[in-house]
A and B are shown apart, each in its own frame.
Chain A
Amino acid sequence: MKGYKQWSTVVMSFLMAVSVSACGADSPQAEQSAPKPAQTSPAEAAAPTPDYPTKQIEYIVPYSAGGGVDLVARATADYLSKEWGQPIVVVNKAGGGGAVGAEYALKQAKPDGYTALAVNVSNTTMLTAGMLNSPVKNEDQIYTTRIGKGTLAFAVKADAPWKDFAEFSQWVKVNPEQLTWTSVGPAGFSAFGVAEWLDAIGADFSKTRMIVTKGASDSVPKVAGGHAILAVHTVGEIMPMLQAGKVKILAVSGKERSPFLPDVPTAEESGMKGLTVFWWTGVSFAKGTPDYVVTKWQDAIAKMEKDPAFAKKLTDIQVESAYANREDFNQDVIRETEYYTELATKKNMRK
């Protein structure tokens, strides 16, 4: 019996230790006062830049762990933690299609550079385009750096009757009411890809039917099982089912073939111009975050993209490197927002 008593003491102390450390993880941010946000008056701009980072950084991923945005953010956090010698902790705050975490990082947290946000096409430009009054807007954030991108692929069941994308497009043009496609929602990533494609081939978007799913892991099996006809996702998201021989990819969008699928033609090669929707992910900071923070992240990520270990990580998750600095990233986002808003208005996707 004595042995058990000791055991329980050991276990109890372990429990306590865990709980204490769990509570502790949260407190330093509250205790330490934030560095003063740099005012951009000329006099102060000349002053030496403060040390950054001097404590743990929270990297908010507004989706659950395991998705593309999450994996890229984790690889980035891993690299930067080593580079800067400060822990960068990935915190998943899922919900509201990426809006909940974004709102937290951009509006609730202090704009002191210690809360970064993992952004991607769905919770930025598409959110703004798809909602009349989206909870987070381009003006709320400083688009710091784009890190990676994914090519869009059009997947159908492996034994579907169409031999190529042109034939499939022709069929859809004649029978739009028979096309079912999957998306996370009316203004989801796939919806923009489908709307753009139908627009390009002159098929009636409003007659097709959307099947709402939770995401790629839910929707690709539905296409493979014959419950929906088309799934539009990034190459990486379709890869397992493609390799399993359950689906086939008719085309990829964009100007170039995907490095992961060198044999699959682009839509342009199949005679359809102007399919531009692609998936990307990067990092953002709240408006008012000091410039030296933004520059430091931008420069570190530029260096990271040249790191072979990081490049391998991206390849493993089938994401392409797509570095863009602050200026380029911003311009791209603004252009994309305009384009998507126009597309969404035309196709009556704006709610």
Chain B
Amino acid sequence: MDGFGSALSLENVLMAAVGALVGTFVGVLPGLGPTSAIAILLPLTGVLEPTQGIIMLAGIYYGAMYGGSTTAILLNIPGELSSVPTCLDGYPLAKKGKGGPALGISAIASFGAGVLGVIGLVFFAPILADQALKFGPPEYFALMLLALTLMVSLSGGSLIKSFLMGAFGYALALVGLGPSSGMPRFDYGVSQLMGGFDMISIIIGLFAVTEVLKGIEERRASAMITKPGSVYPGKEDLKKSAAPMLRGGLVGFFLGLLPGCSAAITAFLAYDLEKKVSRHPETFGKGAMEGVAAPEAANNATSSAGFIPLFSLGIPSSPPLAILLAGLMIYGLTPGPVLFEQHAPFVWTVIASMFVGNAMLLILNLPMVWVWVKLTRVPYGIMAPIILMFCTIGAYSVRNSMFDVLIAFLFGGLGFLFHKYKWPVVPLVLCFILGPLLEESFIQTMAMGAGDLSIVWNRPISLVLLIAAAALLVISILLNRRTNQRVKEARARGMDVA
């Protein structure tokens, strides 16, 4: 409780606010995510007191998680990988003129899940961190298989197209140094290819650049098609989203405890879960409010949950947290249970400030949403080059390399073709992210079992995950059929369904 006292001191509140604002801002820019923002601002820690420095960096982290959703909904540009699922329904909602409520729901979901995550952090930090250690390579392998069943439900109709795109995504991920051998693969003697394709530049290409190309083709007068409406969601939207928020938050929180389980993965899983439990799965992808609430809650809960293994064991579960860990180290604060003992005031102040920061995000962002909404009303002729400029900066900033910018534009062109011929790009992105993780955990599992794969089903946690994966696969295929059937019926009734 002392933590709250010091968290509410003027400078600390100010730092939380600055962090949240800067975070939201960088989250909005495609590519310039929390990782680069924290890295850029890390030198500032030399000037600030430890507590203030870490409060600010943490604020940037969860602020960016939120910021990514704004452009995802309004412009179909996911600033962050974890906002990709938000695009799927957020953008159709914006097209329907419900962009405002979608943003409101996303802000509330982020806030709710963020708070949930911090409460979890307070109560479970020492206990849960222990459980995370039980997740070894076989468990990750099973978990990745589970996540890959998403391919089916993200297929957007054709399973074959979805699998082909997935295979293409994995092939792209293969380029670069192999995770086990350390040997270059498919680099064709080009030194940039040795480092592999960067995920962010491909995402920027497939989503942001493609969107601009689409806009140009449609000769859009403005990026916004209709008015977004009020940002304060109506009762019905709130009612519809409450359960998805809670489910998304829980999925995000518990999976977020696992190192290596990124916000992107949990957001995808939460989206999929909602689609499965929904009575109207056919509305997903065409503007379902639940499809915004669940992944937004999940990605924010994951970001908060990530602090648990970080503070209690010193395990950073995502790249931005790894840099935050560096920030802690610079101050001589080595994370671990010792941190809770020796630097208790610091830890509790930072944790309390996360409540403050989350509240700040909600207060700042609901009114601020208008600023972003305004932005989308700027004539497209002006918007398009600005978006492209951000894409360029974003792609460049990841590795400070022009090669990535080139890749972003190349994939922009490809994404446009995919869109024209109705090939789903989400399976590509999913396999690009999960493929290498699956491969790595598979090789680790094989090494652990001395070439015997049976340890995957001989360990309780991984066995449960495997059974869940199999069950999900069957359910997904059945649901997918049902959805296709309904789409067909709707078409027969003369509805315009993409």
Contact = CB atoms under 8 A, between A and B. Distances in A.
* Chain B residues touching A, range: 35 or more
Contacts of A209: 447-448, 450
B234 interface: no
Nearest to A223: B133
A184 B329 CA distance: 22
Contacts of B192: 100
B450 A71 contact: no
Nearest to B314: A240
A187 B182 contact: yes
A331 interface: no
B191 A100 contact: yes
A97 B182 contact: yes
Interface in A186-243: 186-188, 209-214, 217-218, 221-222, 224-228, 239-241, 243
B347 interface: no
A4 B374 contact: yes
A188 B182 contact: yes
A3 to B, nearest CB: 9
A313 B316 CA distance: 21
A296 B450 CA distance: 53
Contacts of A226: 136
Given A22-B393, A71-B326, A217-B315, A135 B191 contact: yes
B323 interface: yes
A333 B371 CA distance: 57
A56 to B, nearest CB: 14
Contacts of A222: 136-137
Contacts of B180: 185, 212
B124 interface: no
Central interface residue in B39, B179, B314, by most chain A CB within 10 Å: B314
Contacts of A243: 334, 336-338
A184 B183 CA distance: 12
B195 interface: yes
Interface in B429-466: 440, 443-444, 447-448, 450
A317 B329 contact: yes
A326 interface: no
Interface string A3-20: 011011001101100010
Contact of B135 (A74, A99, A225): A225
Interface stretch (B395-403, B469-477, B487-495): B395-403
Nearest to A23: B393
A174 interface: no
Interface in A62-109: 64-67, 70-71, 74, 78, 91-97, 99-100, 103
Contact of A240 (B336, B370, B448): B336
A241 B401 contact: no
A177 interface: yes
A221 B259 contact: yes
B467 interface: no
A8 B371 contact: yes
B interface SS class: helix
A148 B29 CA distance: 37
B413 interface: no
Contacts of A184: 182
B381 interface: no
Given A64-B322, A316-B330, A93 B375 contact: no
A103 B180 CA distance: 22
B39 A96 contact: no
Contacts, number: 167
B176 A95 contact: yes
Given A180-B448, A316-B329, A212 B313 contact: no
Given A4-B371, A217-B322, A97 B177 contact: yes
A91 B400 contact: yes
Given A96-B184, A99-B194, A212-B179, A218 B260 contact: yes
Contact of A66 (B322, B370, B440): B322
Contacts of B330: 71, 74, 313, 316-317
Given A211-B137, A316-B332, A93 B400 contact: yes
B338 A65 contact: no
Interface in B31-69: 35, 39, 42-43, 46
B79 to A, nearest CB: 13
A259 interface: no
A76 B371 CA distance: 41
Contacts of A212: 179-180, 440, 443-444, 447
A103 B191 contact: yes
B181 interface: yes
B191 to A, nearest CB: 6
B314 A22 contact: no
B335 A240 contact: yes
B331 to A, nearest CB: 7
B122 interface: no
A134 B424 CA distance: 40
A65 B313 contact: no
A137 interface: no
B137 A227 contact: yes
A246 interface: yes
A187 B177 CA distance: 13
B197 to A, nearest CB: 11
A11 B371 contact: yes
A70 B326 contact: yes
A196 B401 CA distance: 38
Nearest to B450: A209
A221 B393 contact: no
Interface string A236-258: 00011101111000000000000
Interface in B118-137: 132-137
A55 interface: no
A11 B177 CA distance: 41
B329 to A, nearest CB: 5
Contacts of B337: 243-245
B168 interface: no
9 contacts: A4-B371, A8-B375, A95-B176, A212-B443, A212-B444, A225-B134, A225-B135, A241-B314, A317-B329
Interface of A: 4-5, 7-8, 11-12, 14-15, 19, 22-23, 64-67, 70-71, 74, 78, 91-97, 99-100, 103, 130, 135, 177, 180, 184-188, 209-214, 217-218, 221-222, 224-228, 239-241, 243-246, 312-313, 315-318, 351
| Closest 4 pairs (CB-CB, A-B) | A240-B314, A95-B195, A227-B136, A185-B182
Given A92-B400, A93-B399, 16 more contacts: A4-B370, A7-B371, A19-B389, A64-B319, A65-B35, A71-B326, A92-B39, A95-B194, A103-B191, A211-B448, A212-B179, A217-B325, A224-B133, A227-B448, A228-B448, A244-B314
